Structures are given as structure tokens and as C-alpha cells.
Amino acid sequence: MLGEGIIQGLVETARNFFGSYVEKDRLTTVQYPEERNELPEASRNFPFLLFDGPDPEAGLRCVACQICEKECPPRCIHIEKSKDKKPDFVGKPQAYPAVFNIDVSVCMSCQICVEVCPFDAIRMDKVYELSTDDRFRGLLYTKKELAKSNEYYQQIHPVEAAETDERRVKEAEEARAKAAAAEAAAKAKAAAAAAAPPAADASTNGAAAPAKPAETKVTPQ
């Protein structure tokens, strides 16, 4: 009959109207500043730099290899390499970024920088309240703003962080074992060379040997 559908519709909206006062489940709205939905584990938006230990400057994992800068499709990363070196987590002296800027207004959140980084130094963040009244300087993040601790990373991406940490511990152990083995080999060679005449040649080879295990790490996982 004509008008039947209208009655049905009116009943439905009336049910919504009164139901929304009774059943809280009906209301899908999240009262944003007071309550927030938890973000999914894999959510991401902008990159940040990881550091180990208490000091963001000393513990920064980044070695300024500039791979991410080259790979970044919208070119939002700017790195200036340092002149001096500092030891990394295996103890090998590495360069560090004197300047590391990311323009988050340009970043497209593709995560390619994370995928290419051989040092697990750059990861994606979950923050989303980044509004600022300065559209240029306010959205250009410097090394100081980007550096975040490993604990923070474990907090926002627990599964991913556990995996990374496990791998890094293993790699560090392997590197240490290899270095020890190389040292032992060099010592044995040096001992052998001390007996034989061409001693100068063998000692230079032995000094270059510990650098090798670090180089194999460069291949991306």
C-alpha cells in the first residue's frame, strides 16, 4: 500500500532515536579528545630515528649512509654526513648524521626508507596529532625531534621491535665471534710470520680482516 515504506522508515528512525539513549553500543562515534581508538599494530605515518641507551646523540643508530635519502620517492629526507666518526653498537667506528631532516609535509608514508635501511635506524611512527601553526619550520623535523628511544619503538610496534632486537643481538654476537675468530687467525698468522721472513705483508692483512663481517651486514634483509 502507498505509504507503507514511509511508516517502516519512520519506525526505524524512531528505534534509532530512542535506542541511542538506551544502548551505548549503537553510538559509533568516538568522543575524540577524551577517548581514542587504539591504532592497529601495523599502522604508520612518518619515520623517526632510533637510538639505543639514554643519550639520543651518542646512541643514534644512523650512520649517515644516505641510502634512505636516495631511495625516498618524494625526497623528503635531507642528510649531511659528519666529518668525524663514533663507535656503533658492535664497536666499529662509523660516521653519524650531522644533519638529518625529514619534511613530514612532503613524506608520503611509503616506508621505503625503513625497508632499505641496513642499520635498523629508521622506523615508522604512529603519532597523528602533528598540527602546527608554522607550515614550513613546524613540519620540518630535525634530528633532535626525530630521535626516539628503542623503548618507545617497542611500545608502539611490539612485534616488529622484538623481531628487530632479536636479530640485532644475533648479528652483534656473530660479528663479535667473527672478529674474535679473525683476531685469533691474525694472531696465529702473526705467530707464524714471526717465524718466517716476510712478516710485514701478513700484519697488514690481519689489520684489515675485522672490517669484513660488518660489510656483509649491508645486504638488506
Partner 1 sequence: MTTAATADQIFVLAKHWLVAHTPAPLQTVVSIVIPIAAIIVVFAALFALTVLFERKGLGRMQNRYGPNRVGPFGILQPIADAVKSLTKEDIVPTRADSVVHYLAPLVLVGVVFLSYAVLPVGRNMIAVDLDSGVLYFFAVGAATELAVFMAGWSSHNKYSLLGAMRAIAQMISYEIPLILSSVTVIMVSGTLSTVQIIEQQARYSAGIAHWNVFKPWGLAGFILFMIAATAETNRSPFDLPEGESEIIAGYFIEYSGFKFALFFLAEYLEMFAVSGLGITLFLGGWSSPVSFLAWIPSWLWFFGKLLAMIFGFIWVRGTLPRLRMDQLMNFAWKFMLPMTLVVIFSAGIWRFLSPGVVGPTPLGGVIRWLVCALIIFAPYILLARKLERGRRIEKRTYRFAE
Residues in contact with partner 1 by CB under 8 A are: 1-3, 6, 9-10, 12-14, 16-17, 19-21, 26-29, 31
CB of 152 to partner 1, least distance (A): 32
CB of 9 to partner 1, least distance (A): 4
Phi first, then psi, for residue 155 (nearest 5°) are: -70, -45
Place of cell 549503537: 26
Across-strand partners of 140? 103
Nearer to partner 1 by Cβ, of 17 and 136: the residue is 17
Single-letter code of the amino acid located at 19:
G
Extract the C-alpha cell encoding 137.
Answer: 619550520
CB of 11 to partner 1, least distance (A): 9
Q: What whole-number distance in Å separates Cα of residue 28 and Cα of residue 24?
A: 9
CB of 29 to partner 1, least distance (A): 5
Would you say 140 and 103 are in contact if contact means Cβ atoms under 8 Å apart?
Answer: yes
CB of 2 to partner 1, least distance (A): 3
Q: Report DSSP state, residue 38.
A: P
Nearer to partner 1 by Cβ, of 7 and 194: the residue is 7
Number of residues that make up the chain: 221
Nearer to partner 1 by Cβ, of 27 and 159: the residue is 27
Q: What whole-number distance in Å separates Cα of residue 176 and Cα of residue 108?
A: 38
Nearer to partner 1 by Cβ, of 4 and 151: the residue is 4
> Which of 127, 172, 116, 130 is CA-nearest to residue 152?
127
Nearer to partner 1 by Cβ, of 22 and 191: the residue is 22
